Amino acid sequence: MKRIILILCCIAMAGCTFQTKHRGYVFPDDLESRVANIKTTAQLEQEIGSPQVKTVHGDTVWVYYGADENYHGPLPLTYDNKTVLLAWVRGGAVTKTQILRDNELPDIRIDSDETDIPAAIELNALQELFNNIGRFSPAGLGQ
């Protein structure tokens, strides 16, 4: 009986691992001082890299984002060390920069509901399987 309990405890402990993955940009520790000296987009791309997003409407803003994703076994995924760098760009010049950290960023809760797509066809697993028959060419035919 003790062996069974020990085996179950070992299996339960294996699911309780802790892992951290970095997502987005890895910003240097001296980000504030580096960004303060940047005056052109060429300098910005050399120091930080290409932006993840460039705004389309209004002022041109380059957005850089980085965060640590923390996995705690069966517990929900958490994020920390979130950093956002915003750079306002006009032509080839950087007119303003702003750095936002964890406590300055709003907490956004993503809704778990799904938006219905008009005229979408709902298929079960069996219908999906038979629907794909004949859609793919055999490997190696180069088509």
Q: Can you tell me the mean pLDDT for 13-24?
A: 76
Please, are residues 93 and 41 in contact by the beta-carbon 8 Å criterion?
yes
Is residue 3, in this structure, part of any structural domain at all? no
Is residue 33, in this structure, part of any structural domain at all? yes
pLDDT digits 0-9 by tens, 102-136: 888 877 777 778 777 787 778 888 888 887 777 76
In this structure, the dihedral spanned by the alpha carbons of residues 96, 102, 104 and 110, taken in order and rounded to 10 degrees, is: 110
Is this structure's pTM higher than 0.75? no
pLDDT digits 0-9 by tens, 55-72: 888 889 999 999 888 887
Is residue 115, in this structure, part of any structural domain at all? no
Would you place residue 24 in the very low, low, confident or very high pLDDT band (cuts 50, 70, 90)? confident
Q: Domain limits at 48?
A: 29-67+81-106
Domain count of the fold of the chain: 1
Q: Residue 37 is part of a domain; what is its CATH number?
A: 3.30.1450
Between CA 25 and CA 40 the distance in angstroms is 20
